[in-house]
Amino acid sequence: MMLQLTPVEVMAVLGGLFALVMVWRASAKATRRASEATRTSVRFMSLTGRVVVTAAVIVGVQWIVIKHPGNEGLLLAVLGVPALFASYTLTRALTVTAVDMPQQKKGRRR
């Protein structure tokens, strides 16, 4: 028994296959874009977490020294040195941006 298809049926099958391939490629691109967006937000949250923890440590040490007065030099050191570290961290957080290199397509197989 031989399968006989009209030209319209052949075109319909080819059109369906083409549509399936296009949907598959579009979903792969969307998945890749979502993955890149997630990586970017994780990087930002990691940096934010480090800045917040550093600030909490600085405030904790300053609070202890201010609550127990007595040494003016220690007070100045506790207020001045962490301010330098905080300004450095804040400056890096606001000025350094990651440059993601686009993924290269796989080359020819040899």
Q: For position 34, what pLDDT does the model report?
A: 78
Residues of the chain scoring pLDDT < 50: none
Q: For position 102, what pLDDT does the model report?
A: 66
Q: For position 99, what pLDDT does the model report?
A: 65
Structure tokens at 69: 């007065």
DSSP string, 66-84: HHS---HHHHHHHHHHHHH
Q: For position 110, what pLDDT does the model report?
A: 53
Q: For position 98, what pLDDT does the model report?
A: 61
Show the CA angle centred on residue 50, arms to residues 45 and 55, nearest 5°: 125
Q: For position 101, what pLDDT does the model report?
A: 64
Q: For position 104, what pLDDT does the model report?
A: 64
Q: What distance in Å separates the CA atoms of residue 53 and residue 99, rounded to the nearest whole number? A: 25
DSSP string, 85-105: HHHHHHHHHHH----PPPPPP
